[in-house]
Structure 1
Amino acid sequence: MPLVMAPSESSRAESPVLLFPSSSSASASASASASARVEAVVVFNICDSYVRRPAQAERVIGTLLGSVLPDGTVHVRNTYVVPHNESADQVALDVDYHHNMYASHHKVNPKEVIVGWFSTGFGVSAGSTLIHEFYSREVQSPIHLTVDTGFTRGDASIKAYISSNLSLGDRQLAAHFQEIPLDLRMLEAGKVGFDILKSTIMEKLPNDLDGMESSIEKLCTLSNAIYRYVDDVVEGRVAADNKIGRFISDSVTSMPKFSAAAFDKLFNDKIEDNLALVYLSSLTRTQISIAEKLNTAAQML
């Protein structure tokens, strides 16, 4: 199994990691415009891989797949885990597995290419620098996504970084990791699940009605905020912003227009469809259970 081996601790100490937040004045100008957009399925896949990790593994790493948008934003849409081993003096990656998995993914969706890598845990380390060097050979300017599955600061914080080398002449002094803006793209159902993952304590899992109630409450809160803003602008208490006005206008015009009766009918039809699915699934489970018992009885006879 071909592996990428990291240098020993003695040589690793010559190339430390410098980690700067997105607001740091030391950030490079090239990284100022960089940003990342991550789909919810990527976060869920990373959390699932962490739960299924080998018993001796402290973290999991893997490859990020997606595309680079025209404005330079890295859009992450998929991921897969890459087996690796870590110890005090080395880091090893299964390069063959990585290449085979990427080839398989590329056949299914040729538009998704390697855009970086992920790791579970809080922040970056010297070992992360070595892994990032490998992915820098796979793709130009990869991003590094970290998911704090250990709830170091009380929640599952997610951060994205890009890296550059700080050198003095021909000698590399350090790896400069710069945090970049991160946009988590989630539907309302995904947000409900992500809120559960972020919390360390959860009394019960919400059902569909709980999720719908939470979504409606958030919608009412946003609607009230819009009403207050519009009233303040009309009364002259707040200066008008054309961008906000156009955004509100586009949002209102994008809503379908139908009467209250039509909405009630649509809602009731949806409820009936869901109940029909529940009934059919229950009926299917009953038939399977009866078939298993009949098969067992026939074998005994």
Structure 2
Amino acid sequence: SYVQLPSTTTALSVSSTDSTAQTQHLNHLAPANTSTPAPSQPITMDVIKSQQISSRPIEKVIVHPLVLLSIVDNYNRVAKDTRRRVVGVLLGSSFRGTVDVTNSYAVPFEEDEKDLSIWFLDHNYHESMFSMFKRINAKEHVVGWYSTGPKLRENDLDIHRLLHNYVTNPVLVIIDVQPKEMGIPTKAYYDVEEVKENATQKSQKVFVHVPSEIAAHEVEEIGVEHLLRDVKDTTISTLATEVAGKLTALKGLGARLQEIRDYLDLIVDGKIPLNHEILYHLQDVFNLLPNLNVSELIKAFAVKTNDMMLVIYLSSLIRSVIALHNLINNKMLNKEHEKAEDAKPTTVPPVSGS
């Protein structure tokens, strides 16, 4: 059984034009070319139209808690408090368009911050690690790679292209180890060949966003519960935890609504092209909203609100009565204690004569 929490998706992708100078040292996972690199191509934000994608081999990516713990541990040991990112290989299985990521391991990775076309990925380490993992669990195969991003970078397409040597359709999962927004800290992508509408333009590889989920088997869920026991603050009550969870959910909803508004503002200003698929999804969301002008719905909201206010009022009365009862009991105990003190006989010390 799975415990799943789906994430929202968009149709935004990052594309980078192919460069011969960049791909000369990318045929294998080998050290980067240290010669003078060609001028890096600018990154452009494209909106992939549904009709441009001939097939969708990957429909969903499921990430297990063990993978998240392993990636966070790798980041804390290698790149904590730095601007570096860590990279590794994802293991799991793929069935009917669903990629199930169950394990991972880190791979030594270095890149030049000034020139992202210069980078190094130790493929010998990857091959030796995968051979050892395969002895433990032969069902786990290479399904893609991960990065702590926290966003897509210019050389991600080049690294992704190299993963095709080990798997037909690799996925890229970006893990935000220090999330600043509410929600799932994973974003999954796979690459497709974008066909230009103009026949004179050359096709190029682009990343397409795919829905991602956090799921766990029952055994994993028990393990995570035991790990969280040491992290959980025992001074915080269950009610406070539930209220904090509601507040977090509302903040996440507000952030998503603001993101939708910013996207629509960019379309109105003509800064990005219109994508009908996204607008269809937004229309479906608006169609699910209730009609607040219906009298039955207004009455139901009023009844529900009155019931909740009645419960709050009764709880306040009970709390006040209990406080008064404790105060009266305390006063009665004090009076009994004073009477007991007064009832004790007083002894007069003898006076010695002269």
Partner of 1:271: none
Give 2:120's aligned residue. 92
- Distance change in 2, residues 1:19/1:134 (3 Å): farther
- 150, 153, 167: which one aligns with 1:139: 167
Q: How far off its partner does 1:153 sit?
A: 3.9
SS at 2:151's partner residue? Answer: coil
The offset of 1:4, in angstroms, is: 4.5
Given that 1:31 and 1:178 are in contact with CA atoms closer than 8 Å, whether structure 2 keeps it comes out as: no
Q: Please give the TM-score of this superposition, normalised by the length of structure 2.
A: 0.49
In the alignment, structure 2 segments of 5+ residues that lack a partner are 1-28, 246-295, 298-354
1:188 to 1:44, Cα distance in 2 relative to 1, 3 A: same
Identity over aligned pairs, percent? 23
Which residue of the partner structure matches residue 46 of structure 1?
71
1:161-187 deviations in Å (ceiling 9; x for gaps): 111133667985533111111121133
* Of 70, 94, 98, the match for 1:68: 94
Alignment of structure 1 residues 132-211 onto 2, 5 Å: 132-153=160-181, 157-166=185-194, 173-186=203-216, 187=221, 190=224, 205-206=231-232
Give the drift of 1:19: 5.8
The alpha-carbon deviation at position 31 of structure 1 amounts to 2.5
The answer to whether structure 1 residue 31 and structure 2 residue 65 are counterparts is no
2:158 aligned with 1:125: no
Distance in structure 2 (CA, Å) of the matches to 1:9 and 1:170: 27
* 8 A Cα contact 1:144 1:162, kept in partner: yes
Alignment gaps of 5+ in structure 1:
197-203, 219-236, 239-301
- Give the alignment partner of residue 3 of structure 1, picking from 19, 30, 34: 30
Aligned residues: 206
- The alpha-carbon deviation at position 28 of structure 1 amounts to 2.1
Measure, in 2, the Cα distance between the counterparts of 1:19 and 1:101.
36
The 1:176/1:191 distance shift into structure 2, 3 A limit, reads farther
Query: What are the superposed Cα offsets for residues 237-281 of structure 1, whole Å, 9 maximum, x if unpaired?
Result: 99xxxxxxxxxxxxxxxxxxxxxxxxxxxxxxxxxxxxxxxxxxx
Instruction: Tell me, yes or no, if the aligned pair for 2:79 and 2:86 is still in contact at 8 Å.
Output: no
User: Does the Cα contact within 8 Å between 1:35 and 1:74 map onto a contact in 2?
Assistant: yes
- SS in structure 1 at match of 2:84: coil
TM-score normalised by L of structure 1: 0.56
1:33–1:79 distance in 2 versus 1, CA, 3 Å: closer
Between structures 1 and 2, the one with greater strand share: 1
For residues 89-119 of structure 1, what are the alpha-carbon distances to aligned partners after superposition, in whole Å with 9 as ceiling and x for unaligned? 4111101001000001001101000000000
After superposition, the Cα gap between the structure-2 partners of 1:84 and 1:190, relative to the gap in structure 1 and judged at 3 Å, is same
Corresponding residue number in structure 1 for 2:140: 112
Match of 1:13 among 30, 41, 47: 41
Q: Which has the larger radius of gyration?
A: 2
Separation (CA, whole Å) in 1 of partners of 2:98 and 2:237: 31
